Amino acid sequence: MKINHLTAAEENLMKLFWKLESFYLKDIMEQHPEPKPHQNTVSTYLKILVEKGYLATEKEGRIFRYKVLVPMEDYRTFLLKELSANFFDNSGKEIVNSLINENLISQDELKDFGISAQITPVKTKEPKFEYANEVLNPKKDKKKTKDKDKKKKKKKD
């Protein structure tokens, strides 16, 4: 099964759906925290999530019962693989190093997993934003505006 990306709004709704597993539209409206979205908005997202393959529908009389098809674990694994491929060159070592650098995991927590390697934080060079500095701090423009201000003052006097 191919898993597709979700928007932030779709992800937030899916978190609720994963808790409910099987539900009706009215269940969502009751369970959704304040501020509650309009029922039509939720219906639209349900339709989109069915099209993306995250939910299945089962008609019961005049209403639909929705059922989660993609478990949360599968989606988390998908996101982790995407993150690893796009930002860490598929390197688990770089991911763990980043987690340690950002204080999201400690050396002691690594030992809980049986990892005894000492990982020292890597100091990365800060990127140079020469073009951004030129745009944000233009030296020539300051002189021009000062000259213009002086000319305006002379004209007023």
Q: What is the extent of the structural domain holding 37?
A: 8-68
pLDDT score, position 126: 63
75-97 tens-digit pLDDT? 999 999 998 888 888 888 888 88
> How many angstroms separate the first and last alpha carbons of the chain?
78
Residue 37 lies in a domain: yes
Residue 151 lies in a domain: no
Say what angle helices 72-87 and 8-20 make with each other, to 10 degrees.
150
Whether 144 has a pLDDT exceeding 70, the answer reads: no
Whether the bond into 121 is cis, omega within 30 of 0: no
Domain CATH code at residue 43? 1.10.10.10
Q: Structural domain tally of the chain?
A: 1
* pTM higher than 0.75: no
**Residue 87, C-beta contacts closer than 8 angstroms, at least 6 positions apart:** none
Residue 76 lies in a domain: no
pLDDT score, position 43: 92
- Cα-trace Rg, the chain: 27
Whether 129 has a pLDDT exceeding 90, the answer reads: no
Task: State how beta strands 55-60 and 22-23 pair.
Answer: unpaired
